[in-house]
Structure 1
Amino acid sequence: MAGKEPLLSALKGAVLQLREGGGPCTDTSPHLVSLCQRLESILRKGLRQPAWGFRRRDYWHWLEQLPAGTSGSIQRAGGCERTRTAQGRGRFFLRLALQGKVLAVAVRELAQTPGLLEFYDPESSILGSEDLREGLGEPGWVAGAELGFGHTPRYVEGRVFVTKVLPKSQAEVDEVVLAGDILDEINGCSLRYAHSGQAGAILQKLKGQPLIFRLLRWRWHDGQVYEPLLPYLKVLKEKEPHFQLQHSPQRRGEGEPRQLQGGRLLYNLQYLGRTSVGTYGGKEVLQQAIPAVLEGHSAVREVLLDVKESEVLVQEKASSKLLCRHPYPTISCVGRCTWSSRIFAFCVASSPESPDGSTFDCLVFASSSEQECEEIIERIGLLDNDFILRNSF
């Protein structure tokens, strides 16, 4: 079972440590060396060595035999004059592959090339085992798709199962996908009869674009398991002994009171103030605008924020008086500050009808938690992709 392979467990731990550091990963990231060492151990485990005294094999020797179009990282590593050994070229490839998020592409090509699979003993290796290879064949854990469908979806007889919805992921924010559901299509690309890694490959090609998923729900209208899925779920349970069907979304801030109005969820926030930022409303202005508002020491007001389908409304909590409304086309950016995970802001066009061009104001708020702050930013940022520039600084 993939979940019982110590090297894969250690690799997942190294990935989590790297992510916990926050910010971009660079050559100086403290856990990067550990991650690369574990990757190299996985690539070498069970690697068959030739008989009769031929040169000793390393994982680079199958990488360099992959088709020319598989990854430019392979060509760069092979053509680098400063790396003269198989080990050096393999390590250079790993660095390039992590940067370019293409390691899964190489693993998938290996899986589809019987001649190269012979490099590995199917009994003692990870890459030679179909089940264990799935832990590397799906690029989500390395590529950072950030959708939150677990570290690797499970492929069961051509079906792609969501095995876990990760905390703070977009899947959790949307509260739509449940563990046990099947990814049937991504942007019209069918995933029926999918092979290992296919979902990740599609997501890589669509990176940065809006995504539309078609799901097959595990839960039928009566609350029971949809009967045609029972055979698949039985196999999934055998592959993932700890897998559990998810019965409801993992709602953020459970136990915290949420304000409802007309059946809609409203956010209890503190409105910290507003400042003019001039004629440019890009995300870069937030870095100066948020401190400017905080240093102004305006009176803090308790407000309710309603993120609607076409606009954002802000009303006074005590009186329910509407303070402002901003349609999405007038919102130019949204983001939070790094020194306080609960403070966020968005810029709005304050004079959109002006013949000389719009001027922009920045509105600053404080939420009750980091999770709520991220949730609001995600919701505003996703509801109108043509006008919102989501970012943080």
Structure 2
Amino acid sequence: MPSKDPLIETLKVCILNLKSEGTVTDSNPHLPSCCELLELILRKGLQQPVLSLAHRDYWHCFEQLLQHDTCGRLSSISLAVQQSTACSKLITSQGRGRFFIRLMLRRRTLGSVVKHLLHTNRVIEWYCPNISILRNEELLEPFLSLSMVLSEMDFKINVENCSFLDESWLLPVCQIYEVVPCRELGIALRYLDGRVFVLDLLQGSQAQVDMFAEPGDIIDEINGISLRNASNGQAGVVLSKLKGQPLSIHFIRWRGEDGSIYQPLVKHLRQLKQEKPSLQFGPKPASQQDKTTAAQKKSQTQCVKDGRILYAVDLLGKANIGMYGGKEVLQHAIPVVLESKQTRKEVLLDVKETHLTCIDKSTKQELFQHHFPEISCVGRFGSQPDLTIFAFCVLDAPQADKPSGFCCVVLQAASCSECEEIVNRIAAGFKHTEWFV
């Protein structure tokens, strides 16, 4: 009767569960278990070097593949090893090994990597023949078969979200926030264990208005510059160098997908709470959840797309208003547009962090998109019942048959309160931006 190993048998069950889901993404609950089992198999029987203080891990086996690739046969594997080595978000051999495993799954090369590992004598000798699965002929065959099965599966996993692979196979929620050039973000930071935590949002700042971060979140990356293992003040140095440029900020959220605390952050959040006792890290209170739900359902004129509220409004028209785009022109420009009696269109207005977009409700075609630095003013029109009408002025696109200058875009919301909400959101967007010529 052939030998059986509990790791092989468990991996077989895990792969069956993965296959039942079709394409494998990071949200698949069986993915961390599969990766952990691969890690345990690659570690089993790995012997430590004699008379050396350095700890050997399976990542060092992959590194040796790069050194023994003398004829270029392992070009794809070599590139993966180099990418894992160069990743600035990883500081331990465990993290790099885990990153490499995820790369192999995504690129469907696990089977070929295992085969090359077996044929590299200098490396395979590091494994104990009495313990290792890789040096047991009866156990090696089923492991190779399972590796080939994994190589045929479709893994759509995010390799950029890797800053916690040093500590855990469980990945955090990682989100990107894009912001136009601004005077200041308004975030108070705290450096803990080489990570940049958000400690507080300054009152009236862009961060406080847009609520794109919470105390306890981590700034992981700014414009491609990693802040993993950052020293005190490094985030400020990066931001000062990028002053006047649009920012793309990668945040690691302290809340997991299910809303609970991301476990590897528990000790850090305790430290933050000791420094600022008013901080609360836990599930959202039921009352707060009810308010959020009520706000999203308060009007049938709103819909949700990618977590953002889209407003169903009417586009009444637009007109060129000359060379001045200050708020004073709205009281004259809006009547001009209304009197022109342009065709009314039902549209969806999407007010994002960096810009607003207008989409035709029936055809789903984008009618226009304006970044906040292009907007010179925004406001409502007249008195009741016209307080549902609002407008904003933007730089008009130059055309051969029309004079240049500003264009006034006029829209109508479903209610006065919704009109005020839209105007405030647009105003908050360009309030914090700067103009650059």
Q: TM-score of the superposition, structure 1-length normalised?
A: 0.44
| Larger-Rg structure | 2
